[in-house]
Amino acid sequence: KQIAETDLPEPIRKEVEREAARLSKVPPTSPDHQVLRTYLELVLELPWKKASEEHLNLSTVRQVLEEDHYGIKEVKERIVEHLAVLKLNPTAKAPILCLVGPPGVGKTSLGQSIARAMGRTFERFSLGGVHDEAELRGHRRTYVGALPGRIIQAIRRAGVNNPVLMLDEVDKMGRDFRGDPASALLEILDPAQNHTFRDHYLDLPFDLSKVFFITTANTLDTISQPLLDRMEVIRLQGYSEREKAEIARRYLWPRRLKEAGIEGSQAVLTDEVLNLVISRYTREAGVRQLEQMLGRLTRKVALTFADLPEGQERQPVAIQADLLGEWLGSERFMPEEARKNLPPGVATGLAWTPTGGDVLYIETTLLPGSHDLTLTGQLGDVMQESARAARSYLWSHAESMGLDISRFKRNGIHIHVPSGAIPKDGPSAGITMATALASAYEGKAVRSDTAMTGEISLSGLVLPVGGIKEKVLAAHRAGIKRIILPKANEKDLKDVPQEVRDQLTFILAERIEEVLPAAFNPDSEYGRAGNGSEPMEAADAAADI
């Protein structure tokens, strides 16, 4: 009766009727009877033709995304573009979006917002730690306790064949002797193959082409290349302190107050206190730690109210800055203040970290009587190579740059990057190392209000690097006024908030000869001449933007 009432595609109906005929011949006491019955129940529960109606109104989509998430304009625009294509051509294959970003920036909640905006059912499961491809594709029915894979189970839970299906932590899949789940995902996510996806348990072609797949990852490094090729990567950057304050005001603080059973008017959080919590107690790209800290504050307020005698009216509690030390403990992070005066041999660099940007001081000192290059501070291979390239370039061009070549011959050099317990690697310290070395050999100090980032080549070119937005925000936090960047990174400045750009001077360089005059004080030899002949004023005016 169920088979007759269910709307099944014709090839599936034939298969189901054949299995039902087998079931009628198997005695109820036989183990096969239950296996067949469970299988048929799954097939009849699956939404072969049932799809949820979607109302793709782009203004509603934009409104939902704005309500649920603050900032990330570029990400929202990319999502709206994809949905606009689906609206104009409903038969188009839905894109497979891969949201990549640090923890706590809102990747999972963005998937829920997309589903809500499209009016589709939302299902999610995590791929973190999955190392058996049968988890995705199911087990064959010959095994005892066989189950369909997670994809088919999610479709059955959703009850429609076009849900928004979120595969969380796609970068944390394992692989072992039981197979490689990343390879099994290729068929699931490939629009050219997934219209006839065969689960091992189901063993019938199920059409996954109507499913809107969204994957999330913290990094792309561990995702296999063939899998990455099938996905549209959308990067979510970390938030600036101003954005974090806005997110806390709109979403985190009201949510934490509601969880603690406190009305909004009963706990007053001033902007000054909120900014202190953000800068002194959290250092992350996302807002998860910030939410935990706000949760601690609401619990302290809740404790104050819970201690009141029965029937006494609650008075509003104003959270004071001097209470933070008692309620949240001692400050975890001291504000990154730019060093007021840099001695010769020290230059300010900018680094990218998973929790945002950071200011990095590179220290160098000459070692009389030695010829060696010593590197300390847990530097990776790329940073060590940058240091060698910087030294070799300065040595080979010492005369044209006005450096005393005899100092190279008589002295070894020691380069140290503080925070020795933290491993550091990457190419973006190249020009900082070259500037610190030039400062040490010349005995002149680098400007303390200037930071820099960029890779150096052996021919003196300044090559582009990544993470410009995070690095610029870190420099701004540290009170730095001038930033030297590779010319090729000029396009990345549009990602930096306008109010931050207005307070900084950017110097764009294509060669190391342009970096050194900008990095030293105007009264030093480098400040007076760009490469021994060109007046500094002209070079600086052309480079400053």
Q: State the catalytic residues.
A: 428, 471
Question: What does the alpha-carbon distance between residue 112 and residue 119 come to, in Å, rounded to a whole number?
Answer: 10
Contact of 260 with 299, CB cutoff 8 Å: yes
| Residues contacting 420, CB < 8 A, separation 6+ | 376, 377, 378
Q: Which of 186, 195, 272, 271 is nearest to 229 (CA)?
A: 186
Structure tokens at 384: 């060590």
Q: In what helix (H) or strand (E) does residue 38 lie, and over which residues does it extend? A: helix 31-45
Nearest to 445 by CA among 391, 521, 517: 521
Collapse the DSSP code of 544 into the 3-class scheme (helix H, G, I; strand E, B; otherwise coil) and give the result. strand
Cβ atoms 449, 338 nearer than 8 A: yes
- Written as six digits, the tokens of 114 are 């997309």
**Spatial strand order in the sheet of 411-416:** 373-376, 411-416, 356-368, 346-353, 450-452, 482-486, 505-509
- State both tokens at 105: 């920036």
Structure tokens at 149: 């894979």
Rg (CA), the chain: 30
User: Edge-to-edge strands of the sheet including 232-235?
Assistant: 122-126, 164-168, 212-217, 97-100, 232-235
Contact call for residues 316 and 266 (beta carbons, < 8 A): yes
- Inter-CA distances, 26 with 23, 30, 140, Å: 5, 7, 20
DSSP-derived secondary structure for 452-477: E--EE-TTSBEE--S-HHHHHHHHHH
The first and second tokens of residue 497, run together, are 């908030």
- Helix (H/G/I), strand (E/B), else coil: 125: strand
Residue-wise DSSP of 355-410: TEEEEEEEEEEEEET---EEEESSB-HHHHHHHHHHHHHHHHTTTTTT--HHHHHH
> Are 108 and 166 in contact, with CB atoms under 8 Å apart?
yes
Encoded amino acid at 474, one letter: A
Residues 539, 536: Cα–Cα separation, whole Å: 5
Contacts of 544 (CB under 8 A, 6+ apart): 505, 506, 507
Closest CA to 217 of 166, 287, 164, 153: 166
Asked whether the beta carbons of 350 and 475 are under 8 A apart, the reply is yes
Helix, strand or coil for residue 340? coil
